[in-house]
Amino acid sequence: MFIAPGSFRPTVTPNARSARIEAALRYWKRQRGAQAMPTRAAIDPTDIPPLLPYVLLIDVLSDPLDFRFQLIGSSVDSIIGQNYRGVRFSELPHMAPGNKVWDEYVQVVEQKQPLTSEIPYVGRAKLVRHLSHCLMPLSSDQETVDAVFTVVEINLDGSSSTTSREAPALAPLGGA
């Protein structure tokens, strides 16, 4: 399946975009090149240091469909309150089938396109008001989504977790 560069249209919930999410989408598109989706190997942590604290890598499992936390960035990890590495979504009541987050990951797997939306926060961090995330498919064979590269925007007390200090560091991600 070939998708011409510039022709993809991510599913977007209004107000879910931030500078961090925009930078992640630009990076995903750049790593994708002329392919339908980038591979997991194309996601190089040394390319995206400002994004790393907000990154999740989620494995897509089949038979039956499920999702497993592979990597959790430090900022996301700090608001979760538990170690989710290696845990399947189906093992977590707030992420199991029928939940908005589960449904959005299924949509990315089926449509093979990025999805950006606001999601409810379920956790112990009292300052977190809500989250936005961008789910971007990864594929080793360009047919099957086998991982999802996710970037999370954490909104504290109604403001973005992006600070004025962080914004300039994201600028190089917009290149070529």
What does the domain layout of the chain look like in residue ranges?
Answer: 14-174
Q: pTM of the prediction?
A: 0.80
Report the pLDDT value the prediction gives residue 120, as an integer from 0 to 100: 73
Please say if the pLDDT value at position 2 is more than 50.
Answer: no
Report the pLDDT value the prediction gives residue 125, as an integer from 0 to 100: 66
Q: Determine the topology of domain 14-174 in CATH.
A: Beta-Lactamase (3.30.450)
User: What are the E-state strand segments in 32-139?
Assistant: 55-61, 66-72, 115-119, 128-138
pLDDT confidence tier of residue 145, bands split at 50, 70 and 90: very high
Q: What share of the chain is helix, strand, coil (3-state, %, to 5)?
A: 30, 25, 45
Do residues 87 and 81 lie in contact, with contact meaning Cβ atoms separated by under 8 Å?
Answer: no
pLDDT digits (tens, 9 = 90+) for 61-83: 999 999 999 999 999 998 887 88
Report the pLDDT value the prediction gives residue 155, as an integer from 0 to 100: 81
Mean pLDDT value of segment 20-40: 96
* Token pair belonging to 172: 């190089």
Report the pLDDT value the prediction gives residue 163, as an integer from 0 to 100: 33
How many Cβ atoms are within 10 Å of 129's Cβ, its own excluded? 13
Report the pLDDT value the prediction gives residue 90, as an integer from 0 to 100: 96
* Token pair belonging to 156: 């504290």
Share of the chain above pLDDT 90, in %: 62
